Amino acid sequence: MNTQPHELDFGGNLAPYAVVDAISRGRRFEEPSPSYRSEFQRDRDRIIHAAAFRRLEYKTQVFVNHEGDLFRTRLTHSIEVAQIARSIARALRLNEDLTEAVALAHDLGHTPFGHAGQDALNACMHDFGGFEHNLQSLRVVDELEEKYADFPGLNLCFETREGILKHCSVKNAADLGDIGARFIDKQQPNLEAQLTDLADSIAYNSHDVDDGLRAGLISIDQLQGVPLFNEQYEDVRRLYPELSSRRSIHEVVRRLINCQVVDLVQTSTQLLADSQPASLDAVRQHPGPLIAFSDTMRERNLELKRFLRTHLYRHYRVHRMSAKAEQVIRNLFNGFFEDPRLMPDEAQQKVWALKAEQGEAGQARAVADYIAGMTDRYAIKEHQRVFNPEELT
């Protein structure tokens, strides 16, 4: 029996176009290979041990964190994305470890208060290069995590970083070197990254239906107008006419996830069989993505997204939360930018350091880094500590 660690085969029975250690473009700072793990297992493990990962527990997408304990947080969302993405990766014989690493890291750069927080911070950063959460996720793993003696950030493999940077403006891509090149050259990312992006949308569309129903912001009656939901709902009603409403909803949500995963695996299997990419390079140079939904499923998905946008994300109760959240972010940004001495020592040191390097834009970036790293409740608390005169005592 051979137990030599360097002879362990982490490639398994992967497809020729999957990412494997041997073809990785490597890390920014060279390191010896891990003993009993693949390079991408190590990436996944570093992400799990990151402070930004732990903070996902107290960050939200749609609902403010303390609205209720039953709603998804960014942490549970990321775990759900990893679960869905790994199933797809295994079915397509792609690298599950890389897929899991990308899924767990994909939301690390999000501000507190979900999209409202991101929009507010982006507006505050308008004159200083803006704020993109994808770019910030990369910044977290490349720069902001301070844990290792030999390098800044987590020093992840190129392919993991490529997956984390899902979108990027051409303007920003130009400053990013090799990792930004594909947005300029119009190339595709690796398949593990492609599938994780779609697993993200499967996860949030399905769980926003679940959370929206639980919060009483949307109803089954309304959702019956959405074909993707209604088909699953009718199936459940027919098979289990007596089932309680809570269990019916879960049955529908799990079917929603499953039918999208099955469609994605079948469509992608066909696309890959048709184009037969010989290698990862062929995947990157392919004119379009090779992981995709069927046309019908893409349309159904859009209908569900449109429904959620109109009835959930723009619901007045969600809008009230968002409006308050934007105010918190704006006040914090303006307060700290005008007087960085209001910031705790460690964050303040970073402001002075980046200001010395890049002037006002650096000062703004360091303030944005500090705010983006906050959890929902920390941002609310910090806002009180800085602006509420009653906290003087």
**Closest to Mg ion by CB, 38 or 136:** 136
Residue 114 Cα to chain centre, angstroms: 11
**What is the rounded CA–CA span in Å between residue 387 and residue 377?**
15
Q: How far is the CB of 368 from Mg ion (least distance, A)?
A: 20
Sequence-ordered alpha helix ranges (H) in the chain? 39-48, 51-55, 74-91, 96-105, 114-124, 133-139, 158-164, 170-173, 181-185, 191-214, 220-223, 227-239, 245-275, 280-285, 295-308, 316-338, 345-358, 360-372, 376-387
Q: Residue 53 or 128: which CB sits closer to Mg ion?
A: 53
CA dihedral 161, 167, 172, 176 (to 10 degrees): 20
Q: To the nearest whole angstrom, how small is the minimum distance from the Cβ of residue 110 to Mg ion?
A: 8
Residues lying near Mg ion in the complex (CB under 5 A): 107, 200
Name the residue nearer to Mg ion (CB basis): 82 or 318: 82
Q: How far is the CB of 60 from Mg ion (least distance, A)?
A: 12
Which CA distances in Å does 43 have to 72, 141, 161?
25, 10, 10
Provide, rounded to whole angstroms, the least separation between the CB of residue 13 and Mg ion: 29
Q: Who's near 153: CB < 8 A, 6+ residues apart?
A: 140, 141, 142, 143, 144, 145
Tell the smallest beta-carbon distance from residue 44 to Mg ion (Å): 17
CB of 20 to Mg ion, least distance (A): 26
Nearer to Mg ion, 200 or 376 (CB): 200
- By beta carbon distance, the residue nearest Mg ion is 200
Nearer to Mg ion, 107 or 263 (CB): 107
Amino acid at 179: I
Shortest Cβ 214–Mg ion spacing (Å):
19
What is the rounded distance in angstroms from the CA atom of residue 270 to the CA atom of residue 285? 18
The smaller minimum CB distance to Mg ion, of residues 21 and 107, is found at 107
Please report which residue ranges of 215-315 form alpha helices under DSSP H. 220-223, 227-239, 245-275, 280-285, 295-308
Alpha carbon distance 161, 292 (integer Å)? 21
Closest CB to Mg ion among residues 100, 200: 200
